């Protein structure tokens, strides 16, 4: 991230650490099979990174490849390629981007070829598209498929029976397949060490996210937040490099907090905090910087977001626990945001609006993401009724640039901020 007006790039140590972590991971993937490393394709929500790493296998996350391709302006071509193979315009654009990338040689975001999977591991946490996505991948790759069935939180709670059901599958179905593919028996002590490391990183992440309760907030918990969650939601949770990243990031955020500074953005530091927002829904990746700039220009800071909980909700108390490794992994999968029912999602967003003293909330409705978009108008109305705070509604897409209209979104945001202004002025008079 940098200051566009001066041309000087401001890089904090945490940003550089993350860049090196990602580059090293893709380098290891590019030589995985030559190095006799086994590769597991899996998804971010409910990922079993500690278990994968306990077997010394390497994870690949197809949706991360898609969003990285979008940020590098490559997703449009991949999507067109997938549509040539008959994939509908209405299909999740992550899927089409991934399929198009696969059909174009499977060159990853860093320009290195991704290895074929030795295992397709689907931890099913509420997104039906993931099931269909793995059916497509199964047609492309000749390798075992394991599906971990994670019960939906239909009644808004995780029961002991649900936890036991998932833990039993892990022990009796997932681990035996991973042992066979890796050629190694599970080292439970190694798994416990990885889980302990995860818990420490998770605690640092919570401190970082909760720093946004302060005024001004030292972070942006949506646009900046997607960088903060990167290591813990993907290939690095459980590793010492991940712990180090969050220690360094927490130190940087605490330093900004002490100095009363706002978040760092691609346009430079945001020194004036005019609006505090909670945002529901994923961001648009094809025009990510342009999207963020619209908020920066209005001095709007996102203090909490649902998207930064898609790979795990830690600020309500969950931590991975080495004392009960399989039950802990089960509870993690059960608690991901996409596995919450609608009332639970509304409760969580309401809590954020109140706890983070938000002036309003905004929904970014994603055209091709039913997992997030279903019920969002109900969420909007319910949150307005409960909190008295005004809600805004914009529409875009994950990685398809055809569905990002900058002018339309900017007009809607400007109207929304004008409404927020009048509400804030009314409140100050009363």
CA 261 and chain centroid, separation = 25
With beta carbons less than 8 A apart as the criterion, state whether 403 and 396 touch.
yes
Provide the pLDDT for residue 280: 96
Pseudo-torsion of CA 39, 43, 48, 50, nearest 10°? 60
Structure tokens at 299: 């001095």
Is the pLDDT assigned to residue 6 strictly greater than 60? no
* Residue spans per domain, the chain: 13-177
Of the chain, the end-to-end C-alpha distance in Å amounts to 40
What angle, 0 to 180 degrees and rounded to 10, lies between the N-to-C axes of helices 325-334 and 160-169? 110
Structure tokens at 223: 């646009």
Provide the pLDDT for residue 290: 95
Provide the pLDDT for residue 271: 85
Structure tokens at 104: 């174009």
Residue with tokens 């970014």: 364
How far, in Å, CA of 12 to CA of 2, rounded? 10
How far, in Å, CA of 323 to CA of 329, rounded? 11
How far, in Å, CA of 90 to CA of 361, rounded? 27
Residue with tokens 């209005």: 298
With beta carbons less than 8 A apart as the criterion, state whether 306 and 279 touch.
yes
Q: What is the CB neighbour count within 10 angstroms for residue 267? A: 17
How far, in Å, CA of 43 to CA of 123, rounded? 7
Kindly report the average pLDDT of the chain as a whole number. Answer: 93
The share of the chain scoring above pLDDT 90, in percent, equals 83
* Residue 102 pLDDT level (bands cut at 50, 70, 90): very high
How far, in Å, CA of 88 to CA of 92, rounded? 9
Provide the pLDDT for residue 155: 94
Is the pLDDT assigned to residue 1 strictly greater than 80? no
64-68 average pLDDT score? 92
304-308 average pLDDT score? 96
Q: How would you label 78-97 residue by residue, b for 16+ Cβ within 10 Å and e otherwise?
A: bbebbeeeebeeebbbbbbb
Domain over 13-177 is classified CATH 3.40.1530.20: no
How far, in Å, CA of 406 to CA of 91, rounded? 22
Q: What is the pTM (predicted TM-score) of this model?
A: 0.94
How far, in Å, CA of 424 to CA of 430, rounded? 10
Residues β-bridged to residue 60: 41
What's the pLDDT tens digit per position in 279-300?
Answer: 999 999 999 999 999 999 999 9
DSSP characters for 235-282? T-TTSHHHHHHHHHHHHHHHHHHHTT---EETTEE-----EEEEEESP
What angle, 0 to 180 degrees and rounded to 10, lies between the N-to-C axes of helices 288-297 and 406-429? 30
DSSP characters for 48-112? -HHHHHHTT-EEE-HHHHHHHHHHTT-HHHHHHHHHHTT--TTS-HHHHHHHHHHHTT-B-TTSS
Provide the pLDDT for residue 180: 97
Among 9-18, 180-189, 361-370, 387-396, which is the least confidently predicted range? 9-18
| H helices present in 300-375, as ranges | 325-334, 342-355, 370-373
With beta carbons less than 8 A apart as the criterion, state whether 300 and 275 touch.
yes
Structure tokens at 393: 């509604």
> Which helix (DSSP H) or strand (DSSP E) does residue 347 occupy?
helix 342-355
């Amino acid at each position: 991230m940098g200051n566009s007006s001066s041309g000087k790039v401001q890089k904090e140590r945490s940003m550089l650490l993350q860049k090196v972590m990602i580059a090293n991971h893709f380098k290891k993937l590019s030589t995985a099979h030559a190095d006799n490393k086994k590769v597991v394709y899996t998804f971010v929500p409910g990922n079993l990174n500690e278990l994968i790493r306990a077997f010394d296998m390497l994870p690949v996350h197809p949706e991360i490849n898609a969003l990285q391709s979008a940020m590098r302006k490559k997703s449009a071509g991949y999507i067109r390629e997938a549509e040539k193979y008959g994939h509908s315009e209405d299909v999740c654009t992550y899927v089409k981007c991934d399929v198009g990338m696969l059909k174009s040689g499977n060159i990853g975001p860093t320009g290195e070829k991704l290895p074929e999977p030795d295992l397709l591991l689907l931890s099913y946490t509420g997104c039906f598209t993931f099931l269909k996505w793995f059916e497509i991948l199964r047609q492309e790759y000749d390798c075992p498929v394991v599906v971990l069935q994670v019960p939906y939180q239909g009644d808004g709670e995780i029961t002991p029976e649900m936890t036991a059901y998932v833990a039993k599958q892990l022990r009796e179905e997932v681990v035996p397949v991973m042992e066979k593919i890796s050629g190694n028996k599970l080292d439970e002590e190694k798994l416990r060490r990885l889980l302990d490391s995860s818990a420490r990183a998770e605690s640092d992440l919570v401190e970082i996210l909760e720093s946004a309760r302060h005024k001004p907030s030292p972070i942006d918990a949506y646009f900046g937040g997607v960088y903060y969650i990167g290591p813990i939601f993907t290939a690095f949770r459980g590793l010492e490099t991940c712990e180090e990243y969050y220690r360094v990031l927490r130190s940087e955020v605490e330093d900004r907090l002490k100095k009363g500074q706002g978040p760092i953005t691609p346009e430079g530091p945001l020194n004036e905090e005019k609006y505090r927002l909670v945002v529901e829904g994923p961001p648009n990746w094809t025009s990510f910087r342009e999207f963020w700039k619209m908020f920066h220009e209005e001095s709007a800071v996102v203090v909490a977001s649902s998207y930064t909980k898609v790979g795990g909700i830690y600020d309500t108390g969950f931590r991975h626990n080495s004392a009960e490794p399989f039950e802990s992994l089960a509870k993690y999968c059960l608690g991901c945001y996409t596995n919450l029912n609608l009332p639970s999602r509304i409760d969580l967003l309401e809590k954020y609006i109140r706890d983070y003293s938000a002036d309003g909330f905004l929904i970014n409705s994603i055209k091709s993401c039913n997992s997030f978009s279903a019920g969002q108008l109900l969420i909007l109305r319910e949150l307005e009724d409960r909190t008295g705070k005004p809600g805004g509604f914009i529409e875009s897409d994950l990685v398809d640039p055809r569905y990002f209209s900058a002018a339309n979104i900017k007009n809607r945001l400007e109207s929304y901020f004008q409404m927020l202004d009048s509400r804030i002025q009314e409140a100050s008079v009363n």
